Structure 1
């Protein structure tokens, strides 16, 4: 038959394009098709996972800012102020406690014991004194010697008054000496206790530089007074050497009394010089200085309640005056 009898739609081996070897190789390949591909095979992924530490580079981490916020700064400042206020209040309470303890000794059950007066006496003791409790052992001997010197001085002043009274009996012109001797007894006996004995007692007790300097200044004046009293200048109220020799022709008995008083005044002068040197030597070993004395004085002034009240009143008055002036 002719070629026209053939089926035009029949497949021809030479004409079929899908019979190309390249195409048949792909279609017959063992590679899985897309719809059969499993992206999660059953293999152990943990064994194939690369440790994070094996990478030489670390991921960038955003560090928080180290600068405090204004609120945190204000909170810290407020806490600091509260802490300082608590510290000041604690120190003020401690100072009040010490002041009350020194004045009344009521908090510890110890009452003032000097001067030793009877309980029925209307005047009560004004000071507390106990060498074994308040004074260190190395200072007790010198402190007691200062106390004995004060008592010896009081006795000498009393005998000086009696000697001037006897001096006055020899001649009415010596009445000035008797009057001044009474004045010296009334004045020097308590003032010497307050002005140089109590400061040295406090200096040994608290190791206070200011008390040491105050004692040195006052006690040096006391040494000069002892020397003047021992010399016995007439009309000065002292039964010293010159006054004793001046009455030797008038009365031997009065002269003997005045010589005894002159010897006592001389002993006071000599002992005061020795004790002044001893206290000065101890003062140098304590490490006290004039700068420390200034600091103690300024601290004592600023912590004194009377001074604080006066300063607050002055500041308030000045503020009110300035406010009224502006209005």
Structure 2
């Protein structure tokens, strides 16, 4: 190498143009230099020799590094920590966006899942609100259709008798229309409970008939069983089911108290039915156990009736407590019941006419006595 590769001494006088590489290049006439061509020389008419550049050799082809994953090796789309460990060992850099688990290849993100769940919940609530709106609209239309006007009358629909029957329905009943949605379930249960009591009394009639067939001395019980079926079935409808229906329909305190008084007496009578006092016409436990001595099949039938009576009494106690708890939530009171009774009596046209007739008769009698 040249001696200029190291720093020269300060006292040395070096000429940089005396470098062998420069002098060698200047002596080479194959290059176009200013010494060989003078554009201002008229004698030189030919252009300078062309520049012959050396053809650069092609660089060696770069070999691509082998892939970190083979075709049979699954790609790792794991957590950020695993990617950082792989990057630290391999020395390559992977952008954080590729290291995240929220890539499309990893499925729905937690944010997308939460949004989907919220959307589904909102759609479900919207469907529920639309259903309630349709129900309220239907009830409103039916109430308008059945509203009593100057010349309008509400058409009775219970009991559902056939058209050829000479006796028509006596009451109007529609739980879905007249009862609030909060009390519809309770009123429906009470309606089915009344049907259950009617079926129980009919079963009691069949049990008493079977007992009368094997024991002729039970004729009184069979007759009373017929009386209880014909008496309690319509009376229970009028005396305690209709009051509870009207109580929940119009929030009537008077009807609530009427229901509690009559239904409590009815539950006490159900307990007596369950006991089965001989000669009362009820196939309770005492009569059923006594019937087993004379006829086992008849005794079994009467014991089944006693079981049904027991279930009827227990269910009556439960429904009495349930209606009482709902009564306390409605804000009804004894004072309201008194006011409703007084208003109902004074507004009743029949009562008013009877009172006026009694007052007129008393006045005429007083004048006649004074003469």
Question: Could you state the TM-score of these two structures normalised by the residue count of structure 2?
Answer: 0.58
Preserved CA contact (<8 Å) 1:105 1:112:
no
Superposition pairs of residues 28-177 of structure 1, within 5 angstroms: 110-177=154-221
Secondary structure at the counterpart of residue 248 of structure 1 = helix
Distance 2:156 2:150 in 1: 9
2:249 corresponds to: 205
- 1:296 equivalent to 2:340? Answer yes
1:33-91, Cα deviation, whole Å (9 max, x unpaired):
xxxxxxxxxxxxxxxxxxxxxxxxxxxxxxxxxxxxxxxxxxxxxxxxxxxxxxxxxxx
1:321 deviation in Å? Answer: 3.7
1:139 deviation in Å? Answer: 0.7
1:35 corresponds to: none
Preserved CA contact (<8 Å) 2:146 2:154:
no
1:251-280, Cα deviation, whole Å (9 max, x unpaired):
111011111111111111011000000000
Point out where structure 2 has 5 or more consecutive residues left out of the alignment: 1-144
1:170 deviation in Å? Answer: 1.8
2:13 corresponds to: none
1:312 corresponds to: 356
1:216 deviation in Å? Answer: 0.2
Higher relative contact order (CA 8 A, sep 6+): 1
Give the 4+ runs in structure 1 shifted more than 2 A.
101-110, 314-327
Distance 2:247 2:365 in 1: 43
1:287 deviation in Å? Answer: 0.7
1:187-232, Cα deviation, whole Å (9 max, x unpaired):
1111000000011001011110000000000000000011111111
1:109-153, Cα deviation, whole Å (9 max, x unpaired):
641110000111100000000000001111111111111111011
1:276 corresponds to: 320
1:318 deviation in Å? Answer: 3.3
Secondary structure at the counterpart of residue 211 of structure 1 = helix
- 1:256 equivalent to 2:300? Answer yes
1:244 deviation in Å? Answer: 0.8
Over the aligned positions, Cα root-mean-square deviation in angstroms equals 2.1
Distance 1:107 1:275 in 2: 39
* Structure with more helix by fraction: 1
Q: Count the aligned residue pairs.
A: 227
Distance 2:354 2:153 in 1: 33
Distance 2:146 2:356 in 1: 26
1:235 corresponds to: 279
Preserved CA contact (<8 Å) 1:105 1:111:
no
Distance 1:124 1:106 in 2: 23
- Shift in alpha-carbon separation, 1:318–1:169, aligned structure 2, 3 A: closer
- Shift in alpha-carbon separation, 1:260–1:294, aligned structure 2, 3 A: same
1:5-47, Cα deviation, whole Å (9 max, x unpaired):
xxxxxxxxxxxxxxxxxxxxxxxxxxxxxxxxxxxxxxxxxxx
